[in-house]
């Protein structure tokens, strides 16, 4: 009967699999068959084990398999500045610490900072991230080298203070980036207009045009604080969301990072345009910015995803911690333990993240879909009760329980080891680069 077995690259088995499919099926004693980068079969372990002849078997035992988590807003290379300055007012943090250090950035430092971020994200179950930073071509190369999936944003802004690309040059760089990553199945290009307060109206309009022309995700920092609305009203006679709407900036390929200071009309506008919000609760809390109206956004039908923001304002790139804080924050903000549940929060970090990035085959484990996943060791004390795998993932896990992370069918991280990164060497080079930038 051996000749009737179906070949596959990998057969992965685990005690629990949370599929995050449309009906949120949870399988016990489950298996996944994987060939090339995709899931070719998914079902009971006993069935698949009898039917498949895998080149590689990954028997994870008592483990919880989840879709790989999706970080929809970060500045990966800011790992270089993690902990450089905390507990300071925003203005001093930026002008006295972050901007002077960023002025010294080199492509090599950004490469190392991005790779270190990839190492951290892989170790905590993240398989895909949406980045916005300087030297986008270098970021794309680093993400590619790590094996992760990524949406690489080319930053655009008009600030004359910084010694970086003009908005003209940045738009050209975005075109180059789009050409560069074209045909790379794990990477996609994006345009990241920094914010309404750093981009002119004309620059924002040109971002909209280029986004349409090349079908690029169009992202921006929006209403991270209430002050942005006040300043926008002074400058343009409108709050941020109506101003962006007037410019044609809002639409189903638009992603707004933060979305803290949104009123009811803003929420209705975002829902009408199919514009998504990348919620960054830990960064918003750490900088004292405020609390995004996530339950109201979700009720209105707005897609809300999760982002860590950069490591200088979080200070972790760990979506398990971010899920945990997101759920707790909206419960206490509403004074209602039902305001933000575990399932809704896991959705934000997986399938809603995929939808927010316009990459909806990600964020769920389904036959035919990409084999992007992570696995938690269920033998750890915090995950031992096992009544609800989704609750355990959101409320009990720290991220330190991740024992395997796979992207596009390739194991990138397993039991503390990386398959694509020479981590000890990376760490050494990262530390030297960070020291050169900060003098510390």
Q: Scan residues 276-315 and list those touching a copy of itself (CB under 8 A).
A: 282, 284-291, 311, 314-315
DSSP string, 104-117: T--HHHHHHHHHHH
Q: Is 384 one of the binding residues for a copy of itself (CB under 8 A)?
A: yes
Closest approach, Cβ 333 to a copy of itself, in A, equals 9
User: How many Cα atoms are found within 13 Å in the side-chain-facing hemisphere of 440?
Assistant: 9
User: Are the beta carbons of 11 and 57 closer than 8 angstroms?
Assistant: yes
Q: Is 234 one of the binding residues for a copy of itself (CB under 8 A)?
A: no
User: Are the beta carbons of 9 and 35 closer than 8 angstroms?
Assistant: yes
Helix (H, G, I), strand (E, B) or coil at 434: helix
Closest approach, Cβ 225 to a copy of itself, in A, equals 9
User: Are the beta carbons of 31 and 44 closer than 8 angstroms?
Assistant: yes
Determine the angle formed by the axes of helices 167-181 and 201-214, rounding to 10 degrees: 10
Total residues binding a copy of itself (CB under 8 A): 75
Q: Is 381 one of the binding residues for a copy of itself (CB under 8 A)?
A: yes
Each residue 242-281 as x (binds a copy of itself by CB under 8 A) or -, in order, gives ----------------------------------------
Q: Is 127 one of the binding residues for a copy of itself (CB under 8 A)?
A: no
* Nearest to a copy of itself of 141, 401 (CB atom): 401
* Nearest to a copy of itself of 299, 385 (CB atom): 385
Q: Which one of 73, 75, 82, 165 is in contact with a copy of itself (CB under 8 A)?
A: 82
- Token pair, residue 15, equals 């005690």
Distance of alpha carbon 52 from alpha carbon 63, whole angstroms: 21
* Nearest to a copy of itself of 125, 189 (CB atom): 125
Q: Which long-range contacts (CB under 8 A, 24 or more apart) does 204-211 make?
A: 204/244, 204/247, 204/249, 205/247, 205/248, 206/167, 206/171, 207/156, 207/171, 207/249, 208/247, 208/248, 208/249, 210/171, 210/174, 210/175, 211/253
Tell me which stretch binds a copy of itself (CB under 8 A): 15-23, 230-238, 297-305, 338-346.
Answer: 338-346
Tell me which stretch binds a copy of itself (CB under 8 A): 34-42, 128-136, 355-363, 384-392.
Answer: 384-392
* Nearest to a copy of itself of 210, 312 (CB atom): 312
Q: Which one of 342, 354, 356, 376 is in contact with a copy of itself (CB under 8 A)?
A: 342
Q: Which one of 120, 131, 224, 347 is in contact with a copy of itself (CB under 8 A)?
A: 120
Q: Which one of 21, 159, 184, 388 is in contact with a copy of itself (CB under 8 A)?
A: 388
The set of residues, in sequence order, having a beta carbon less than 8 Å from that of 68 and lying 6+ positions away, is 125, 126, 127, 128, 149, 350, 362, 363, 372, 373, 374, 405, 406, 407
* Nearest to a copy of itself of 23, 338 (CB atom): 338
Task: Dihedral sign for Cα 417, 419, 420, 424, please.
Answer: positive
* Nearest to a copy of itself of 202, 431 (CB atom): 431
Q: Which one of 123, 151, 204, 210 is in contact with a copy of itself (CB under 8 A)?
A: 123
Backbone conformation region of residue 293, classed left if phi is above 0, alpha if psi is from -120 to 50, else beta: beta
Footprint (CB under 8 A) of a copy of itself, residues 398-427: 398-401, 424, 427
Closest approach, Cβ 380 to a copy of itself, in A, equals 7
Q: Which one of 61, 83, 301, 368 is in contact with a copy of itself (CB under 8 A)?
A: 83
The set of residues, in sequence order, having a beta carbon less than 8 Å from that of 213 and lying 6+ positions away, is none
Footprint (CB under 8 A) of a copy of itself, residues 143-202: none
Q: Is 362 one of the binding residues for a copy of itself (CB under 8 A)?
A: no
User: Is it true that the peptide bond before 315 is cis, omega within 30 degrees of 0?
Assistant: yes
Tell me which stretch binds a copy of itself (CB under 8 A): 9-17, 149-157, 247-255, 327-335.
Answer: 327-335
Distance of alpha carbon 103 from alpha carbon 94, whole angstroms: 12
Distance of alpha carbon 423 from alpha carbon 429, whole angstroms: 10
Q: Is 107 one of the binding residues for a copy of itself (CB under 8 A)?
A: no
Q: Which one of 321, 405, 410, 420 is in contact with a copy of itself (CB under 8 A)?
A: 321
* Nearest to a copy of itself of 175, 380 (CB atom): 380
Instruction: Report the Cα 131 to chain-centroid distance in Å.
Output: 8
Closest approach, Cβ 389 to a copy of itself, in A, equals 9
Tell me which stretch binds a copy of itself (CB under 8 A): 22-30, 157-165, 180-188, 379-387.
Answer: 379-387
Closest approach, Cβ 312 to a copy of itself, in A, equals 9
Give the number of other Cβ atoms within 10 Å of residue 47's Cβ: 13
């Amino acid at each position: 009967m051996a000749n009737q077995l179906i070949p596959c690259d990998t057969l992965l088995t685990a005690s629990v699999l949370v599929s995050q499919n449309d009906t949120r099926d949870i399988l016990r004693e489950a298996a996944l068959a994987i060939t090339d980068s995709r899931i070719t079969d998914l079902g009971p372990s006993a069935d698949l084990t009898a039917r498949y002849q895998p080149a590689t078997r990954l028997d994870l035992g008592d483990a919880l398999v989840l879709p790989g988590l999706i970080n929809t807003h970060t500045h990966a290379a800011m790992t270089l500045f993690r902990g450089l300055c905390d507990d300071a007012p925003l203005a001093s943090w930026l002008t006295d610490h972050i901007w002077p250090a960023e002025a010294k950035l080199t492509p090599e430092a950004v490469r190392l900072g991005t790779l270190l971020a990839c190492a951290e994200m892989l170790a905590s179950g993240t398989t895909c991230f949406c980045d916005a930073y300087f030297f986008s071509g270098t970021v794309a190369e680093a993400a590619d080298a790590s094996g992760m999936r990524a949406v690489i944003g080319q930053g655009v802004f008009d600030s004359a203070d910084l010694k970086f690309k003009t908005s003209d040059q940045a738009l050209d760089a975005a075109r180059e980036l789009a050409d560069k990553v074209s045909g790379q199945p794990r990477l996609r290009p994006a345009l990241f207009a920094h914010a309404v307060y750093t981009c002119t109206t004309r620059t924002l309009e040109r971002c909209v045009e280029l986004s349409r022309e090349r079908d690029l995700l169009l992202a921006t920092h929006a209403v991270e604080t209430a002050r942005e609305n006040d300043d926008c009203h002074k400058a343009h006679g409108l709050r941020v969301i109506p101003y962006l709407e007037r410019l044609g900036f809002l639409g189903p390929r638009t992603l707004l990072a933060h979305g803290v200071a949104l009123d009811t009309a803003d929420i209705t506008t975002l829902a009408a345009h199919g514009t998504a919000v990348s919620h960054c609760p830990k960064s918003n809390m750490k900088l004292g910015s405020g609390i995004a109206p996530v339950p109201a956004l979700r009720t209105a039908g707005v897609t809300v995803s999760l982002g860590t923001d950069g490591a200088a304002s979080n200070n972790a790139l760990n979506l398990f911690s971010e899920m945990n804080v997101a759920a707790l924050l909206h419960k206490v903000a509403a004074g209602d333990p039902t305001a933000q549940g575990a399932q809704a929060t896991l959705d934000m970090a997986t399938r809603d993240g995929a939808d927010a990035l316009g990459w909806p085959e990600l964020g769920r484990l389904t036959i035919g879909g990409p084999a992007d996943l992570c696995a938690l060791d269920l033998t750890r004390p915090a995950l031992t009760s096992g009544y609800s795998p989704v609750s355990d993932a959101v409320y009990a896990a720290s991220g330190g329980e991740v024992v395997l992370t796979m992207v596009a069918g390739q194991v990138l991280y397993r039991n503390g080891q990386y398959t694509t990164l020479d981590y000890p060497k990376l760490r050494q080079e990262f530390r030297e680069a960070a020291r050169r930038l900060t003098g510390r």
